Amino acid sequence: MENKQSSKILNNPLPPEVYVNEYHKPSIRIGTVFYLVAFVLSFLPAVTLWAVYDTIPSFSQIVSVAAAIISASIAWWIVEPISYFTVLGTAGTYMSFLVGSMNTRIPCAIAAQSVTDSEPGSQRGEIMATLGIAGSVVTSVVFVSLGAVCGSFLLGNLPETITASFQYVPAAMYATMFAGTIGKRPDLIGFGVITALLLLKFGVLVIPGSLLLLTNVVLCVLFGLFLYQQFHRI
Amino acid sequence: MDYLEIANSPSMWLVCAPIVVLVLAIVMVFYKKTMQIAEKAGISREDCRKAFRTGIISAIGPSVAAFVVMLGLMTAVGAPMSWMRLSVIGNANAELLHAGLGADAIGQTIGSKNYDINGYAASVWGMSIMSISWLIVLIFAPKATQIQNKFAQKDSHLLALVSISSMTGIMSYLTMQNVTAGWDMAVAAAAAAASMLLLGKTSSKLPWLKEYHLGIAMLLGMIAGSVTSQMFG
């Protein structure tokens, strides 16, 4: 069993240099260009309000808004990419953080891997996760656009029991992925559940909220490395 | 003039559109690049398409859920800004918070009577400033890729191990966070997980259904959660 698994992982179809030069490096170039353009474009509405309607907050007001938002969010901005990078891959990271809602990207990346029987951390795994994320972004943009054009009309006509049921989407979504992983590594999942519960119950008293998820990820990785070193479990 | 007239004006639609187009463009470029490398690696087109379709289908549930929260944002800052902001970074609650922080800085409150075009402009700035987070990804992603590839060269087992361990760390934490949030949440999670496991049993007989597993399991979880809250809430 272990041999079969390990040969599958080692059996990356492309030599690492080729994969890095022909996939990772171009992905970084593409991502960088798109991010810089997106950054400029995202201020277009604010600048338009200034240029066309002559309304703009004073410089000091903008600075104070920026300070409030950055101080409230900077911990997340740093923690999230670190926590999710190995799951999303390079191209997947660029797409996911441009579009946001990790709640959607992560499950779709993992679902795409499992539907195609691909190992996370392999070249095939990264390729499938990236395609899954790409598909999920298309759906997100379609729904957001539909929402913008006819959202108020559609929502006004939905019964309340249906709109209320959407609050269960995150719980159900994570649980399905949880169920998908449990068969692969019950030992790691079991450990993760225990540390997660301890963190949510006691860790929350001493660790800042933004670091709880990362702490759980780090603990699981350390435990995984420990099992690998001691028992060569992969 | 009511600020919403400006917020929903054609010119606002026009300046909010380019970034949505950009998002679709980055998907197209990465899709093409990924298909190229997949072909070179000898991975079948059928598998690639399957992964892409799975992403499309699995994202429907959460996208519809985001729809519901979107309405609150739309009534506050108009449709075009909501469209743009939820196409990037995409979290209606966070956007509403940032719009609120913006308005607050000039002494106004979103949704209140005194909220006018100046408050709206401040909200737009507040939401746009969020884009600074991209600069962190810009610095981080190349470094992380480099480190990951060094790891992979040393021992390819290690990379697989770190991936699966991080995944279990994320999964277990987020699941427990939701499960401990209330009985209805716990029931929704348990029903979804059980459905996923049961659906997994059918995959040898009904392989085509695999792409829909996540969507079906989530729907059953939502129903179970709603029924629980109706019965006991």
Q: What is the pLDDT of residues A131-155, one digit of tens each?
A: 999 999 999 999 999 989 887 677 6
- DSSP, collapsed to helix, strand or coil, labels residue B56 as helix
Residue B205 is predicted with a pLDDT of: 84
Residue B1 is predicted with a pLDDT of: 61
Residue A93 C-beta-side C-alpha neighbours within 13 Å: 26
Residue in B with minimal Cα distance to A187? B168
For the stretch A8-48, pLDDT in tens is: 445 788 998 899 999 999 999 999 999 999 999 999 999 99
Chain B residues within an 8 Å CB radius of A151 = 67, 70-71, 74, 79
Q: Among A108, A166, A192, whose Cβ lies nearest the Cβ of B68?
A: A166
CA separation for the pair A170, B198 (Å, rounded):
20
CA separation for the pair A134, B49 (Å, rounded):
11
Encoded amino acid at A181, one letter = T
Centre a 10 Å sphere on the Cβ of residue B121 and count the other Cβ atoms it contains: 27
Centre a 10 Å sphere on the Cβ of residue A227 and count the other Cβ atoms it contains: 18
Closest C-alpha to B38, from A91, A94, A97: A91
Residue A223 lies in a domain: yes
**8 Å CB contact of B185 and A168:** yes
**8 Å CB contact of A131 and B31:** yes
With 70 as the cut, is the pLDDT of residue A7 above it? no
**Percentage, residues of chain B above pLDDT 90:** 52
**8 Å CB contact of A65 and B102:** yes
CA separation for the pair B8, B96 (Å, rounded):
17
**8 Å CB contact of B225 and A145:** no
Q: Which of A107-121, A130-144, A181-195, B56-70 has the highest mean pLDDT?
A: A130-144
Q: Average pLDDT, stretch B102-117?
A: 84
**8 Å CB contact of A155 and B67:** yes
Helices (H), chain B: 3-7, 10-40, 45-58, 60-77, 79-87, 92-105, 117-129, 132-154, 156-179, 183-201, 213-232
Enter the DSSP assignment of B1.
-
Q: Among B43, B137, B165, whose Cβ lies nearest the Cβ of A124?
A: B43
Residue in B with minimal Cα distance to A216? B169
CA separation for the pair B90, A42 (Å, rounded):
13
CB < 8 Å from B in window 168-197 of A: 168-181, 183-185, 188-189, 191-193, 195-197
Residue A3 is predicted with a pLDDT of: 41
| Mean pLDDT of chain B, nearest integer | 89
**8 Å CB contact of B166 and A86:** yes
**8 Å CB contact of B225 and A172:** yes
Residue in A with minimal Cα distance to B17? A41
For the stretch A35-90, pLDDT in tens is: 999 999 999 999 999 999 999 999 998 998 888 888 878 888 888 898 899 999 99
Residue, of B71 and A165, whose pLDDT is higher: A165
Chain A residues within an 8 Å CB radius of B38 = 127
Q: How many domains does chain A have?
A: 1
Residue B233 is predicted with a pLDDT of: 66
Residue A5 is predicted with a pLDDT of: 43
Residue A4 is predicted with a pLDDT of: 41
CA separation for the pair A29, A10 (Å, rounded):
28
- A141 reaches B (C-beta below 8 A): yes
Encoded amino acid at B162, one letter = V
For the stretch B69-99, pLDDT in tens is: 787 788 888 899 999 999 997 777 778 888 8
Q: Among A48, A125, A176, whose Cβ lies nearest the Cβ of B193?
A: A176
Chain B residues within an 8 Å CB radius of A95 = 26-27, 30
ipTM value of the model? 0.85
Residue A127 is predicted with a pLDDT of: 97
CA separation for the pair B74, B88 (Å, rounded):
15
Residue A143 lies in a domain: no
Residue A211 lies in a domain: yes
Q: Where are the domains of chain B?
A: 3-130, 136-232
Q: To probe the interface with B, which of A35, A144, A217 has the most B CB atoms within 10 Å? A: A144
Residue, of B204 and A119, whose pLDDT is higher: A119
Buried b (16+ CB within 10 A) or exposed e, B165-190: bbbbbbbbbbbbbbbeebebbbbbbb
Q: Among B134, B185, B192, whose Cβ lies nearest the Cβ of A38?
A: B134
Residue in B with minimal Cα distance to A19? B37
Residue A219 lies in a domain: yes
Residue A6 is predicted with a pLDDT of: 42
* Beta carbons within 8 Å of A85's beta carbon, 6+ residues apart: A93, B140, B141, B144, B148
Residue B26 is predicted with a pLDDT of: 97
What domain range is A218 assigned to?
A: 185-234
Residue A90 lies in a domain: no
Residue A193 lies in a domain: yes
Residue A197 lies in a domain: yes
Structure tokens at B13: 């639609």
Residue A57 lies in a domain: no
